């Protein structure tokens, strides 16, 4: 299982939100590049980078941050937040992203999302499947749809998607443990999917529980920034 640290950006700084709420924002570091270098030095190879300003603006805002991390470290960056056009996805890859995560766009504009899968390949596009009570949540989780989570992942897996980041909205940023049962169900229902678990990780025990489910990766955010998991413990994975 890959450990994938998350760096969320507002105003060029590392922040974390609680349950996606911009009013519950906490700043952790002025320099995302310095933070990324810490992860790289610990032997971590992947990074989940989210442009929260971009998610609001529906276009890439923190271009400089993506470029500086992609060019200043060897981390494989998966980038998300505000990519809503063919121009923006081309720009994200140009700036150095290795993969791109699309969530709301996969629900609201499936034709465009499917064209990205065709153009860039299923290995480079990650499906962002955020869920609330097993229904897909979009637009920064402000809107819960009637789309079933597992059906949604299945349909895009059939169209060539290999990687999925699944966040249980109810768990995110609360440090109360991940949705292990949900991830087990997804893995059983969709064999072969490279599932990345996101939300709720609070300690090393949580990571060990996730590892048992067979998920491809686990995103770690607040647990590291709040000192619940050390860099050494992350590196041990």
Would residue 172 show up in a list of annotated catalytic residues for this protein? no
Give the active site residue among 130, 168, 172, 206: 130
Q: Tell me, letter by letter, the H, E, C secondary structure of the chain.
A: CEEEEEEEEECCEEEEEECCEEEEEEEEECCHHHHHHHHHHCCCCEEEEEEHHHHHHCCCCCHHHHHHHHHHCCCEEEEECCCCCHHHHHHHHHCCCCEEEECHHHHHCHHHHHHHHHHHCCCCEEEEEEEECCEEEECCCCEEEEEEHHHHHHHHHHCCCCEEEEEECCCCCCCCCCCHHHHHHHHHHCCCCEEEEECCCCCHHHHHHHHHHCCCEEEECHHHHCCCCCHHHHHHC
Would residue 88 show up in a list of annotated catalytic residues for this protein? no
The residues that are catalytic are: 8, 130
């Amino acid at each position: 299982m890959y450990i994938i640290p998350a760096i969320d950006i507002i105003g060029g700084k590392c922040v974390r939100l609680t349950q996606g709420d911009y009013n519950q924002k906490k700043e952790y570091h002025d320099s995302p590049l310095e933070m990324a270098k810490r992860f790289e030095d610990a032997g971590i190879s992947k990074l989940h980078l989210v442009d929260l300003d971009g998610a609001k603006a529906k276009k890439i805002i923190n271009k400089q941050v993506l470029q500086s991390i992609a060019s200043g470290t060897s981390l494989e960056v998966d980038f998300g937040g505000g990519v809503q056009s063919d121009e923006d996805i081309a720009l994200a890859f140009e700036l150095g992203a290795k993969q791109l995560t699309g969530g709301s766009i996969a629900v609201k504009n499936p034709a465009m999302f499917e064209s990205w899968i065709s153009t860039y390949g299923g290995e480079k596009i990650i499906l962002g499947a955020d869920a609330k009570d097993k229904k897909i949540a979009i637009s920064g989780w402000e809107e819960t749809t009637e789309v079933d989570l597992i059906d949604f992942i299945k349909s895009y897996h059939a169209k060539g998607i290999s990687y999925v980041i699944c966040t249980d909205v109810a768990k995110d940023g609360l440090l109360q443990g991940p949705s292990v049962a949900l991830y087990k169900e997804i893995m059983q229902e969709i064999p072969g999917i490279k599932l990345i678990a996101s939300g709720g990780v609070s300690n090393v025990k949580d990571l060990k529980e996730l590892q048992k489910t067979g998920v491809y990766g686990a995103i770690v955010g607040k647990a590291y920034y709040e000192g619940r998991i050390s860099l050494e413990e992350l590196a041990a994975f």
